[in-house]
Amino acid sequence: MTNPITPPPELVQQWRGKAVSNPKDTFSQSLATRAAQWGSDQELEACCELLVKQGFDFVDALRAARRPKPPSLKEQALEAMHRNWNPHNNDDFATIARALEALDD
């Protein structure tokens, strides 16, 4: 029996293919990062399953805290707008802010 924290060979092969096409990292760094993320996700899910079996009700909060979602494009645009705010052009910034706030996430 294989260890549940050891990724299956098919998944490692998939990572290899993606690592080669990732110009940001070295091949080994990309592979190691994916493996660490996968192992960490497996550990988190195993802990969450145990907590559910024990009757704890904070599992969703734990999962959300440990795997936060990246900011939406709308949130990123608002942050960028605030970073670049110009007091001499406040009307344009107010218009852009209203437009961004009106968009769905």
**Mean pLDDT, consecutive 10-residue segments, the chain of 105 residues?**
78 85 79 91 95 96 94 89 81 84 83
Residue 62 confidence (pLDDT):
96
Residue with tokens 């968009």: 103
| Long-range CB contacts (within 8 A, 24+) of 57-62 | none
Residue 2 confidence (pLDDT):
63
Residue 1 confidence (pLDDT):
44
Does residue 35 sit in helix, strand or coil?
Answer: helix
Q: Give the integer Cα–Cα distance in Å for 101 and 37.
A: 33
At 76, the amino acid letter reads: Q
Say if CB 81 and CB 96 are below 8 A apart: yes
Q: Give the integer Cα–Cα distance in Å for 88 and 81.
A: 14
Domain locations in the chain as residue ranges: 9-66, 73-102
Q: Is the pTM of this model over 0.75?
A: no
